[in-house]
Structure 1
Amino acid sequence: MNPVDVADYAEHAKATLAGDVLGYLDGGSGAEWTLRENTAAYRRIRLRPRVLVDVGSVDTAVDLLGSSLAAPLGVAPMAYHALVHPEAELATVKATGAAGALFVASMFASTGLVRMAQAATGPLWMQLYWLRDRGALLELVGRVEQAGYRALVLTVDAPKVARRARDLRSGFTLPPHVRAVNLDAELMAASHVAEAGVSAIERHSRERFDPTITWSDLGWLRERTRLPLVLKGILAGEDARLAAENGVDAVVVSNHGGRQLDGVPAAVDALAEVVDAVAGRLPVLVDGGVRRGTDVLKALALGAATVLVGRPVLWGLAHSGAAGAEHVLRLLREELEEAMALCGRPTTVEVDRSVLG
């Protein structure tokens, strides 16, 4: 059967991916309450349609930090696409460009940043974790700039990687053929060392991530790059205001897909607080739990400028490579167009909180 929605791609991934890989991709931290809430929260939000509106033409296009997108969609940063398909990020970035969406590459991509840039036909951002080795961090930033990426996305909700039971049970370790090729092999060595009952990913983060960074460190990075800086992992209005005050160019409301602190709100439930706090001073993006075009519409109504999609894109990649990843994004765009028409909102600028019931 050909997939007709994101759920079909999810079922295929569950049936075909290796157990430890599926656990790593689909799992969350703690009791996985926040993981479940990310999707459940969207189901609790109701839409309030208007009728007798001319929706003969529906325009989903948006502008984001100087880039035009065919729809307010992007691919969230996710490590190691090679875990699910041999063409890895090269396929995903091609699919994203074909869909007219934003691609946010992970610091731990399994494809070279220059190869991704050469394959991209749409805007390309790079996600970073703050490494203890600032020299390695800056060296990567320099290569990112030279390759033509348009923004840096600093993940700020992971001073350490949280306990993820599925990874602990499987002793998840990267296979030899899957590597973070944009970083020195010595920096990544711990992620390839297997130990029963230990997540190699979590152990690697303890060794390499700097848990001491504060708001004052952002200035150090801003002085050393010309690229816009986006903070990913914001859930509190106070932090959103601090981001604006510290010259950040955009924020992403995110709980890391339910993979960090368990018990925090669903990303969409924190969205309005962050949007209100920044009061239009910078764009607010959101990720986590998006499975349908109606979810995208609800996020836009709450003030999101663009919605980032994570696991569904990898499910599509696992199914049929670039074609599957593109189809996932195309499905979400088509479902968004339909939802906008049925709600009487023919353009994204007409989508506001009055859409919600």
Structure 2
Amino acid sequence: MDNLICVKDFEVQAHKLLPRNTLDYYRSGAGRQETLKNNRSAFSKYKIRPRCLRNVAKRDLSVTILGEKISMPIGISPSAMQRMAHPEGECANVRAAQSMGTIYTLSTISTSSIEEVAEAGPDALKWFQLYIYKNREITKSLIRRAENAGFKALVLTVDTPMFGLRLADMRNKFSLPSHLTLANFQGQYSDTLNKKGKNTGSALNNLGDLLDASLDWADIHWLKSYTRLPIVLKGVLTAEDALLAADAGVAGILVSNHGARQVDGWPASIEALPEIIEAVGKRIEVYMDGGVSDGTDVFKALAMGAKMVFIGRPALWGLTCGGEDGVRKILTILRTEFEYALAISGCSEVADIRRSMIVHESYYSKL
């Protein structure tokens, strides 16, 4: 891995290593994948306005998130079925996050169980991503297990009443390799993705059929009444929903378009971020994921008001190339790039980053 020095290098190498079925599942977006491309390209439309002659001899990248201090404003988003990328899957990923002093978010649809991940990363700051199922007893059980295993927050995905149409998975008739199961479930749920897919041909639709598509804002109050953990809503893209989320009493919002995997034509996460910050940024914590592949992306998101960013696919590429060490290398690369962007732009700590330090490219055409 010594010759892999940026996120793109890891991505290229991972594409060579992964089986086609797995690669397409990890990398694909919904529909024509225009939003997938835009998640990355939208960052380039924003420019950093650096400040000069600032004392940046000493630098501090740490931030406090939901009352917990972490080493840097870069964490790991939930990604499903990570043992398809590496035999240790989610356990290797959480160990990398633990060693870097940042947040690891475990997907409900994981190939390592809540308890296995807790054992692998006992000192990691762990969040648990949750879907609400038609069978609420399954949902309650997952919540209790996460609480008992020491997870510090629930990340409720709210953009998925059903799974989007991902054409690559439909063509491949995606299913989970037979030696793997959904480790957080027992019985019929555990092998849901090993079976032949219904309707679209992708086995994801089997799982999608189990999700409760009737969810509304009243269910946020139900969830709050059932858990003592802070709740972060993942998948909010509008100011209107951000205001409803704040009114519902959630602790945070993760601005996300689900890796562009739900509906093509949604905005890039970085494009949706400003209106959400404007609506609720002074009331609750706001984070973002989607398209982050360089430390300058982190700087831009924080300049817009995000408290931190999360990465999904880059961690998977690191996992594929080198397991725990690969993920740690990815996090180290992004941390280093962010530190350089921070210092050279005139900031010695995250709190020094100001909204005036980021502008849309159209700003310069108007001068």
Partner of 2:294 in structure 1?
Answer: 292
Counterpart CA distance in 2 for 1:352 and 1:299 is 11
- Residue 59 (structure 1) aligns with: 60
Q: Is the contact between residue 127 and residue 151 of structure 2 (CA under 8 Å) also seen in structure 1?
A: yes
Q: Which runs of 4+ in 1 moved over 6 A?
A: none
Post-superposition shift, 1:220?
A: 1.1
The alpha carbon displacement at 1:325 in A equals 0.3
Report what 2:329 is aligned to.
327
* Offset from partner CA, 1:100-120 (integer Å, 9 cap, x none): 110010001111212211222
Unaligned runs of 5+ in 1: none
Q: Hey, what's the Cα distance between the residues in 1 that align with 2:115 and 2:281?
A: 36
Counterpart Cα distance in 1 of 2:85 and 2:281: 40
Q: 2:179 aligns with which of 177, 182, 199?
A: 177
Query: 1:336 maps to which residue?
Result: 338
Partner of 1:227, secondary structure, is: coil
Q: Distance in 2 between matches of 1:189 and 1:111?
A: 14
Partner of 2:364: none
- Cα deviation, 1:206-248, whole Å, max 9, x if unaligned, reads 2x00000100111111111100011000000010010000011
1:1-357 paired onto structure 2 within 5 Å: 2-120=3-121, 121-195=123-197, 198-206=201-209, 208-357=210-359
Kept after mapping to 1: 8 A contact 2:235/2:258: yes
Query: 1:131 & 1:339 partners in 2: Cα distance?
Result: 42
Give the deviation of 1:194 after TM superposition: 2.5
Counterpart-to-counterpart distance in 2, 1:279 and 1:17: 40
Counterpart Cα distance in 1 of 2:63 and 2:310: 14
Secondary structure in 2 matching 1:13: helix
Q: Which whole-Å deviations, capped at 9, do the CAs of 1:81-136 have from their partners, x for residues lacking one?
A: 10000011110000011111100100011112122112223210000111000001
Q: Is the 8 A contact 1:72 1:307 kept in 2?
A: yes
RMSD over aligned CA atoms reads: 1.1
Offset of 1:280 from its aligned partner? 1.2
> Equivalent residue of 2:342, what SS?
helix
Check conservation: 2:197, 2:206, Cα contact below 8 A: no
1:299 is paired with a residue whose SS is helix
Give a deviation string over 1:234-273, Cα, whole Å, max 9, x none: 0000100100000111010000000001101100000010
Task: Write the letter of the residue equivalent to 2:259.
Answer: G
Aligned residue pair count: 356
How far apart, CA to CA, are the structure 2 residues paired with 1:100 and 1:296?
17
Q: Which runs of 5+ in 2 are unaligned?
A: 360-367
**CA offset digits 1:36-89 (Å, max 9, x no partner):** 000000111111111111111111100000111100011000111100000111
Deviations 1:133-153 (A, max 9, x none): 000100111111111100000
TM-score normalised per structure 2: 0.95
TM-score with structure 1 setting the length:
0.98
Is the 2:182–2:190 contact (alpha carbons within 8 Å) kept by the matching residues of 1?
yes
1:50 aligned counterpart, secondary structure: coil
Give the counterpart letter for 1:142 in structure 2. Answer: R
CA contact 2:182–2:191 (8 Å) conserved in 1: no
- How far did residue 195 of structure 1 move? 4.9
Would you say the 8 A contact 1:32–1:258 is kept in 2? yes
By how many angstroms is 1:189 displaced? 3.2
> Which SS does the other structure have where 1:223 is aligned?
helix
Query: CA separation in 2, counterparts of 1:247 and 1:165?
Result: 37
2:128 counterpart letter in structure 1: M
In structure 2, C-alpha distance between the alignment counterparts of 1:343 and 1:210, rounded to whole Å:
46
Q: Is the 8 A contact 1:188 1:204 kept in 2?
A: no
CA distance, structure 2, for counterparts of residue 8 and residue 57 of structure 1? 30
Once residues 197 and 161 of structure 2 are traced to their aligned partners in structure 1, the CA distance between those partners, rounded to angstroms, is 23
Q: Does the 8 A contact of 1:151 with 1:229 survive in 2?
A: yes
Whole-angstrom distance in 1 between the partners of 2:42 and 2:231: 29
Distance 1:70 1:43 in 2: 26
Where 2:48 maps in the other structure, the secondary structure is coil
Secondary structure (helix, strand or coil) at the match of 2:180 reads: coil
* 2-structure distance, mates of 1:200, 1:347: 46
Mapped partners of 2:256, 2:262: distance in 1: 10
